[in-house]
């Protein structure tokens, strides 16, 4: 998948870019802080023979317009993409930051979400408005402001993948991170710092699957447990041998989990 595969639509919240393949039941993918729509290239390739698969670029990523720095505004942008592409109902897969957005979207418009997968995700950092930026986000912003983008991307990739990941996987994760728009990245850090999805998670009534990786140090399993505990009747699954990029670290296993949940 290359840059020519990226499409654009003028939605009610502004321009949104995305990638799309296949036809049939719809699956919408939302990437994490260090990703973009390219994150999901293996899932788009694998599932496009049986589903219509759509991967968005979050606000400030790719060519997508920036939004207000809160989870509601990001979720509204997601709903705007649904509307612009004529998506009535979909399985929603949100990884890390994408899971934060996905939970809020599903709480706002449950009729649009047939089922929800939250992958290596959490409830948000829940710092009250006006409160300080957490040290982790401050360090990420400092890095993107001071490091060469290639060095920044390599550092992000090293932290994201587990110790068992191949050099090729590390390179793929780093390549995706080189495409980060610094303005979008800073905005997303601030959004996550203040996001609070505890009430939203408790309102969900559709089937929800929460995934974690046993080697993930970015969003440890305990944070996924906290999210899963807030969701009524949440299915919880732990993935072995992977860190924070299971969609590339164990492509076949990750895709099998998605297929099983959608069956």
pLDDT digits (tens, 9 = 90+) for 168-180: 999 999 999 999 9
pLDDT at 73: 98
For residue 30, name the pLDDT band (cuts at 50, 70, 90).
Answer: very high
Question: Helix, strand or coil for residue 236?
Answer: strand
Q: Averaged over 52-74, what is the pLDDT?
A: 98
Query: Measured between alpha carbons, how far is 153 from 262 in angstroms, rounded to an integer?
Result: 33
Share of the chain above pLDDT 70, in %: 98
Look at residues 86, 63, 76, 80 and name the one whose alpha carbon lies nearest to residue 8. Answer: 63
Beta pairing class for 52-56 and 14-21: antiparallel
Which residue's structure tokens are 């829940």? 126
Q: What is the pLDDT of residues 180-201, one digit of tens each?
A: 999 999 999 999 999 999 999 9
Q: Averaged over 35-40, what is the pLDDT?
A: 98
Domain ranges of the chain: 3-262
Which of these ranges, 1-15, 92-106, 202-216, has the smallest mean pLDDT?
1-15
For residue 210, name the pLDDT band (cuts at 50, 70, 90).
Answer: very high
pLDDT at 99: 98
pLDDT at 5: 85
Q: Averaged over 229-258, what is the pLDDT?
A: 97
Q: Averaged over 121-133, what is the pLDDT?
A: 96
Query: Measured between alpha carbons, how far is 145 from 182 in angstroms, rounded to an integer?
Result: 8
Residue 247 has pLDDT above 70, yes or no: yes
pLDDT at 4: 45
For residue 1, name the pLDDT band (cuts at 50, 70, 90).
Answer: very low
pTM of the entire predicted model: 0.97
For residue 98, name the pLDDT band (cuts at 50, 70, 90).
Answer: very high
Q: Name the CATH code of domain 3-262 (choices 3.40.605.10, 3.40.50.620, 3.40.50.1820, 3.90.1280.10).
A: 3.40.50.1820
Residue 234 phi, psi dihedral angles, 5° rounding: -75, 135
DSSP codes joined into one string, 146-207: HS-HHHHHHHHHHHHS-TT--HHHHHHHHHHHTT--HHHHHHHHHHHHH---HHHHHT--S-
Helix 182-194 vs helix 97-108: crossing angle, to nearest 10: 60
Residue 3 has pLDDT above 70, yes or no: no
Rounded to 5°, the CA angle 15-17-21 comes to 140
Look at residues 93, 85, 114, 111 and name the one whose alpha carbon lies nearest to residue 17. Answer: 85
Which letter does DSSP use for residue 131 in this model? P
């Amino acid at each position: 998948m290359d840059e020519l595969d990226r499409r654009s639509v003028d939605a009610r919240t502004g321009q949104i870019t995305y990638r799309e393949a296949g036809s049939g039941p719809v699956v919408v993918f939302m990437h994490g802080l260090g990703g973009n729509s390219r994150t999901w290239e293996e899932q788009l390739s694998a599932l496009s023979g049986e589903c219509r698969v759509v991967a968005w670029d979050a606000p400030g990523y790719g060519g997508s317009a920036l939004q207000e720095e809160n989870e509601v505004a990001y979720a509204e942008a997601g709903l705007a993409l649904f509307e612009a592409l004529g998506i009535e109902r979909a399985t929603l897969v949100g990884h890390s930051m994408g899971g934060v957005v996905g939970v809020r979207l599903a709480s706002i418009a449950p009729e649009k979400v047939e089922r929800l997968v939250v992958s290596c995700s959490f409830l948000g950092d829940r710092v009250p408005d006006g409160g300080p930026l957490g040290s982790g986000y401050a360090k990420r912003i400092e890095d993107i402001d001071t490091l060469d983008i290639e060095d920044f991307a390599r550092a992000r990739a090293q932290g994201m993948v587990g110790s068992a990941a191949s050099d090729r996987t590390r390179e793929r994760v780093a390549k995706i991170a080189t495409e980060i728009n610094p303005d979008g990245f800073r905005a997303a850090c601030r959004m996550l710092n203040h996001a609070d999805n505890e009430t939203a998670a408790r309102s969900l009534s559709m089937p929800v699957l929460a995934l974690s990786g046993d080697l993930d140090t970015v969003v440890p399993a305990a944070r996924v447990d906290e999210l899963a505990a807030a969701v009524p009747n949440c299915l919880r699954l732990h993935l072995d041998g992977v860190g924070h990029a299971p969609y590339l670290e164990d492509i076949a296993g990750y895709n099998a989990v998605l297929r099983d949940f959608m069956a």
